[in-house]
Amino acid sequence: MKRRTLKTLCSLLIAFAPFLIEKTGCIFYWGEPECPETLRNLY
């Protein structure tokens, strides 16, 4: 049972990773949730 739950959580994390990286990357590297146009073009 635990293995199945862990597998599901990992699948969801992998599915949402690009979205999470884009949003948190702007906050960590730029300091704001809204990215400037130059950073957006890097993605």
Tens digit of pLDDT for each residue in 14-37?
888 887 777 777 767 766 666 666
Q: Within a 13 Å sphere around the CA of 7, how many CA atoms are in the beta-carbon half?
A: 4
Mention every residue, 6+ apart, whose C-beta is less than 8 A from residue 29.
39
Higher pLDDT, 16 or 1: 16
Domain ranges (residues) in the chain: 2-42
- Dihedral of CA atoms 35, 21, 19, 36 in degrees, nearest 10, equals 10
The pTM for the full model equals 0.46
